[in-house]
């Protein structure tokens, strides 16, 4: 009897969590990080950006267990090995400090893996006890762990501050300051381009390069990890594959402008570039026609290069594809969650398609993002009645989906639990995507990327139409061959 009563109480409570009453209490309490949908600064700062530079070994000042998490997180998404080392801090280092770990770790890394650069970052353990990275690295040099002129940039990336985009920003600024500090800028016509923390970095970086090459632009990609996360299986292990050369990284100081594809991934880095006299321009994960238009026109303005006819033709193809499929996507309601820039880019594209981004949620979005998102929604009739939520997590999204249902949910792998719980079909776009393979190899930026996103959304719409109309003599009135 007692067991039965408990079960009925749990069922009653479970049903209550689907109500407006619970939603109001849920949003009043703020984020509990039940499932935040974001990663720690360590994933972005300690690892992802560092593989974007030639011959660079990421070195995490912390425990081996922490590093194992970052490596596995990235390997599960990109399906590639993620080489990274740690200073192997344990209990004694947590009490007395990790100086000896740093000295031995840098020495071992330099001698065993033969990198051209070792990029250092921190974990919570090192940050809580206050380890001084600059002092530790200087001591290690004095002890002969690495040569005096060997580059060892560093960044503080505590996991309890911000998210993976914060870590990415801190770390990229750290490596640029290592090469730029104390140097005199000699302005050139070349531009720098930063992709930001991007789960589609392989496809997107290659697509951006292709567009810039077609325009004849002279550029440097800062943190180009499009090769190391897409190495061939040809019998040769490439610990360091591709990446921005150290010479180009140093010369990037002289660029005419630094352009970021993701504003909220690179706020500190862009500010740092601006202090060196560069023009800085940022976008918000440009997806679709208008987003790509704005990107290409800004590149043309800054460089003086014309947009070639080939890209204009690609634009026309995307517009044609949207027109062909508008009847199926127009008026559909969506919920989106993810990083701030991704949410802005996807919401803009959905409204371009005539769809409604009813709920847009970003756990790592702040007040500035919230204002920008609300302004974007207000700019289109398809944004009427749509709302943005900053600093909320997937438990809040659950409340939204139960109280104000939508047709589809867009986000990373963690949304599959919401799909199971609420019945809202999930379209996987974002980071991480663990349970589907190779999405990162295809761009979502540019006109070609917009086509990929359009097809991904349409495929899910058609799959759901087929799934809901496949019972003979009951629901197969629309189980059609032609869509």
Concerning whether 124 is annotated as a catalytic residue, the answer is yes
Q: Pick the catalytic residue: 124, 289, 386, 406?
A: 124
Cβ(58)–Cβ(119) under 8 Å? yes
Cβ(169)–Cβ(268) under 8 Å? yes
Cβ(131)–Cβ(72) under 8 Å? no
Concerning whether 128 is annotated as a catalytic residue, the answer is yes
Cβ(194)–Cβ(84) under 8 Å? no
CA 353/CA 77 separation, integer angstroms: 28
| Main-chain dihedrals φ then ψ at residue 411, nearest 5 degrees | 175, -165
- From the number of C-beta atoms within 10 Å of its C-beta (0-12, 13-18, 19+), residue 115 rates as buried
CA 186/CA 404 separation, integer angstroms: 56
Both tokens of 367, joined, read 């007040």
CA 196/CA 204 separation, integer angstroms: 11
CA 197/CA 205 separation, integer angstroms: 11
Q: Which residues contact 65 (CB under 8 A, 6 or more apart)?
A: none
Q: Strand order of the sheet with strand 56-61? A: 85-86, 56-61, 117-122
Reduced to 3 states, what is the DSSP secondary structure of residue 121?
A: strand
Both tokens of 182, joined, read 């104390």
Cβ(208)–Cβ(222) under 8 Å? no
Cβ(151)–Cβ(117) under 8 Å? yes
Angle between helices 201-215 and 446-467 (to 10 degrees): 140
What are the residue numbers of the active site?
A: 124, 128
């Amino acid at each position: 009897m007692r067991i039965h009563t408990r079960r009925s109480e749990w069922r009653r409570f479970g049903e209550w969590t689907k109500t407006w009453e619970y939603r109001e209490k849920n949003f009043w309490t703020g984020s509990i990080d039940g499932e935040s949908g974001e990663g720690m600064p360590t994933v972005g700062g300690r690892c992802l950006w560092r593989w974007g530079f030639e011959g660079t070994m990421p070195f995490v000042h912390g425990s081996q267990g922490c590093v194992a998490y970052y490596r596995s997180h990235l390997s599960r998404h990109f399906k590639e090995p993620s080489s990274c080392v740690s200073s192997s801090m344990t209990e004694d280092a947590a009490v007395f400090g990790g100086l000896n770990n740093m000295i031995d770790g840098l020495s071992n890394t330099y001698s065993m893996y033969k990198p051209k650069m070792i990029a250092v970052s921190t974990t919570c353990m090192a940050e809580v006890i206050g380890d001084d990275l600059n002092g530790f690295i200087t001591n290690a040099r004095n002890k002969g762990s690495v040569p005096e002129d060997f580059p060892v940039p560093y960044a503080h990336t505590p996991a309890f501050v911000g998210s993976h985009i914060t870590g990415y920003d801190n770390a990229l600024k750290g490596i640029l300051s290592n090469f730029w500090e104390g140097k005199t800028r000699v302005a050139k016509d070349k531009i720098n381009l930063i992709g930001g923390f991007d789960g589609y970095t392989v496809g997107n970086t290659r697509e951006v390069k292709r567009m810039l090459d077609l325009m004849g632009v002279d550029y440097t990609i800062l943190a180009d990890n499009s090769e190391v996360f897409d190495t061939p299986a040809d019998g040769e292990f490439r610990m360091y594959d591709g990446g921005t050369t150290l010479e180009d990284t140093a010369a990037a100081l002289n660029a005419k402008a630094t352009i970021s594809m993701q504003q909220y991934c690179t706020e500190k880095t862009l500010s740092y570039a601006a202090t060196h006299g560069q023009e800085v321009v940022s976008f918000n994960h440009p997806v679709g026609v208008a987003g790509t238009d704005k990107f290409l026109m800004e590149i043309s303005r800054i460089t003086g290069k014309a947009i070639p006819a080939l890209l204009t033709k690609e634009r026309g193809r995307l517009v044609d594809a949207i027109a062909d499929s508008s009847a199926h996507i127009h008026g559909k309601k969506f919920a989106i969650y993810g990083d701030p820039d991704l949410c802005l880019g996807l919401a803009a594209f959905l409204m371009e398609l005539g769809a409604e981004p009813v709920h847009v949620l970003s756990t790592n979005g702040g007040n500035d993002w919230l204002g920008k998102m609300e302004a974007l929604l207000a700019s289109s009739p398809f944004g009427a009645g749509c709302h943005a939520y900053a600093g909320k997590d997937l438990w809040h999204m659950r409340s939204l989906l139960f109280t104000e249902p939508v047709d589809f949910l867009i986000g990373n792998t963690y949304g599959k639990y919401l799909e199971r719980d609420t019945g809202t079909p999930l379209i996987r776009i974002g980071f991480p995507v663990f349970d589907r393979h190779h999405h990162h190899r295809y761009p979502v930026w540019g006109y070609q990327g917009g086509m990929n996103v359009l097809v991904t959304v349409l495929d899910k719409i058609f799959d759901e139409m087929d799934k809901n109309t496949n019972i003979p003599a009951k629901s197969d009135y629309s189980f059609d061959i032609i869509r």
